[in-house]
């Protein structure tokens, strides 16, 4: 819930390769109060079976920029159902260094906010692409 002095943020993830929500993806929320201010991690959440984060932390007063960090690698690897080395679509050397083998192991989205507004920022994800938008 937002007030006149703060903004609020929500998100969800849709796996566009399956047309289904992406559950159990870790999401970290960070904020800063100005373009030159340091980022402060506010905490995180995990998407539910409907692909939604319903408990992201509140933004502090004075927030001007928000960053959502999505840990997509484990989800994409689980979804593939086999080790990265065995998949033709895996990045070269995937898995050999302990990585997830996902082409996009993480997605970071940064956007500006103004007090009193709510920002719903969905992530549309597939193994080789993603997009985001300001939803409602």
* Token representation of residue 41: 């991690």
Interior CA angle at 112 toward 44 and 4, to 5°? 85
pLDDT score of 100: 60
CATH of 8-132, one of 2.60.40.180, 3.90.226.10, 3.30.565.10, 3.40.50.1970: 2.60.40.180
Reported as a single tens digit per residue, the pLDDT across 39-92 is 999 999 999 999 999 899 999 999 999 999 999 999 999 887 644 444 455 555
Domain layout of the chain by residue ranges: 8-132
Q: How far is CA 32 from the centre of its chain?
A: 17
- Kindly report the pTM of this predicted structure: 0.84
pLDDT score of 79: 80
| Phi and psi torsions of 31, nearest 5° | -145, 160
3-state DSSP call for residue 111? strand
Reported as a single tens digit per residue, the pLDDT across 100-136 is 678 999 999 999 999 999 999 999 999 999 999 999 8
């Amino acid at each position: 819930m937002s007030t006149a002095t703060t903004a609020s943020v929500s998100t969800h993830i849709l796996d566009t390769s399956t047309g289904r929500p992406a559950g159990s993806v870790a999401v970290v929320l960070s904020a800063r109060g100005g373009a030159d201010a340091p980022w402060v991690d506010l905490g995180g959440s995990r998407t539910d079976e409907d692909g939604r984060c319903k408990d992201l932390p509140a933004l502090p007063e004075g927030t001007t920029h928000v960053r959502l960090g999505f840990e997509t690698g484990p989800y994409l690897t689980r979804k593939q159902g086999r080790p990265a080395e065995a998949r033709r679509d895996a990045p070269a050397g995937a898995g050999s260094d302990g990585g997830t083998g996902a082409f996009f192991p993480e997605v970071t989205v940064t956007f500006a906010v103004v007090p009193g507004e709510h920002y719903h920022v969905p992530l549309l994800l597939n193994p080789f692409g993603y997009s985001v938008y300001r939803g409602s």
